[in-house]
């Protein structure tokens, strides 16, 4: 089996599984308790905070543990919106994950306006047009760091500069679920106030993530109760998952040089696919500065992406047709349509996403199978 859907989820590192198993078997204590074994667990959780914070140029106490990227995005957007008593505008890009796009629409019920940033044909936010969207009444701008569908790296730092120039009090939120540990981001240097993360995209466990919040940003808690996380996010700490996330961050950091290998695998895969007439890349070309190392979106002219995905599964190659969160809705990708693709081109798209556990020889084998299947399937194209 060749697994090429790492943007949907990743296989956990063996070390992550070991850490979580030890936590459940031996260090199962409630980290909020006062006796020594529980204090020891809390100390381990703090070490996880430090590991996460170090990757973003943040501080340990700016890391809030959550149940994943979706909760982090919700907390950032709704938590900020509920602190604002007079009408403002909230801005997001046209290619946001539903965790942002659907949530930001909810602020309209609070009396705020929602605005959308256009993207260009490569799937990158148009900064020139952004100048006319963001103004002195903007409260929040949310922009993903890396497109989960095309791998296009967004100009988050440049966008943040526009935001702070227009309104120094406005906040910038970045969904870094797809970019964390693969595309560097320093929150201070980039001018970003809040960053959403998810562990299972970096070979950690599912059901855990973090929202990193710069000091001075006030949020209304969305989950209330026992007052954990400095009253920002209540609930008993999911210690095994948090420790697993910390271990995933540490192992990713120790294998940072392997990101270059992933980049090379993506380039090799496209080199093979580019020789097939009727296949195109959606988004920046592999190797370009704003192309993430691990995500490749390609369209097959005349063959539906769903058909290609199912045929590839039969050959032992797993890919997706877009965001895993929306894969069962069977609708044309809003991201691809916003980039100017026709309905047929968008419908003929698959997403290939790589991880540290992939190997170069898999790129050749997967490309050969894609070519063979495409040449077969396109014979049945509707006239």
The residues annotated with a catalytic role in the active site are 325
Whether the CB-CB separation of 154 and 144 falls below 8 Å is answered with: yes
Q: What is the rounded distance in angstroms from the CA atom of residue 197 to the CA atom of residue 121?
A: 27
Rg (CA), the chain: 21
Q: Reduced to 3 DSSP states, what percent helix, strand and coil does the chain have, rounded to the nearest 5?
A: 45, 15, 40
CA pair distance 123, 240, nearest whole angstrom: 37
Which of 104, 253, 230, 113 lies closest to 175, judged by CA? 104
What phi, psi does 213 have (nearest 5°)? -120, 120
CA distance 235 to 231: 10
Alpha-helix residue ranges (DSSP H) falling in the chain? 14-25, 36-56, 69-81, 98-105, 127-133, 156-166, 187-190, 239-254, 258-273, 305-314, 334-338, 343-347, 360-377
Strand partners, 198: 209
């Amino acid at each position: 089996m060749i697994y090429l859907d790492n943007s949907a989820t990743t296989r956990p590192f063996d070390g992550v599984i070991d850490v979580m198993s030890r936590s459940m078997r031996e260090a199962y204590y409630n980290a909020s308790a006062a006796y020594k074994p529980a204090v020891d667990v809390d100390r381990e959780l703090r070490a996880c905070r430090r590991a996460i914070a170090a990757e973003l140029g943040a501080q340990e106490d700016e890391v809030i543990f959550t149940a994943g990227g979706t909760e982090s995005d919700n907390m950032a957007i709704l938590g900020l919106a509920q602190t604002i008593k007079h009408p403002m505008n909230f801005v997001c890009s046209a290619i946001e994950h539903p965790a942002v796009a659907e949530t930001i629409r909810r602020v309209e019920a609070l009396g705020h306006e929602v605005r959308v940033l256009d993207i260009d044909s490569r799937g990158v936010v148009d900064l020139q047009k952004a100048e006319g969207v963001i103004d002195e009444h903007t409260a929040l701008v949310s922009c993903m760091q890396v497109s989960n569908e095309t791998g296009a790296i967004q100009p988050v730092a440049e966008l943040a500069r526009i935001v702070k120039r227009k309104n120094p009090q406005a906040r910038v939120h970045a969904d870094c679920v797809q970019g964390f540990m693969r595309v560097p981001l320093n929150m201070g240097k980039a001018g970003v106030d809040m960053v959403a993360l998810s562990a299972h995209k970096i070979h950690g466990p599912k059901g855990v993530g973090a929202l990193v919040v710069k000091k001075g940003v006030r949020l209304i808690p969305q989950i209330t109760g026992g007052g954990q996380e400095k009253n920002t996010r209540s609930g008993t700490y999911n210690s095994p998952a948090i420790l697993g996330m910390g271990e995933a961050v540490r192992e990713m950091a120790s294998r940072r040089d392997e990101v270059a290998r992933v980049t090379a695998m993506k380039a090799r895969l496209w080199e093979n696919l580019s020789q097939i007439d009727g296949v195109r890349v959606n988004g920046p070309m592999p190797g370009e500065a704003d192309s993430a190392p691990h995500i490749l979106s390609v369209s097959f002219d005349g063959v539906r992406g769903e058909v290609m995905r199912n045929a590839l599964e039969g050959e032992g190659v797993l890919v997706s047709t877009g965001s895993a969160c929306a894969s069962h809705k069977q609708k044309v990708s809003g991201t691809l349509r916003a980039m100017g693709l026709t309905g047929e081109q968008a419908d003929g798209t698959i997403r290939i996403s790589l991880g540290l556990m992939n190997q170069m020889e898999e790129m050749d084998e997967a490309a050969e199978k894609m070519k063979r299947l495409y040449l077969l399937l396109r014979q049945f194209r509707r006239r």
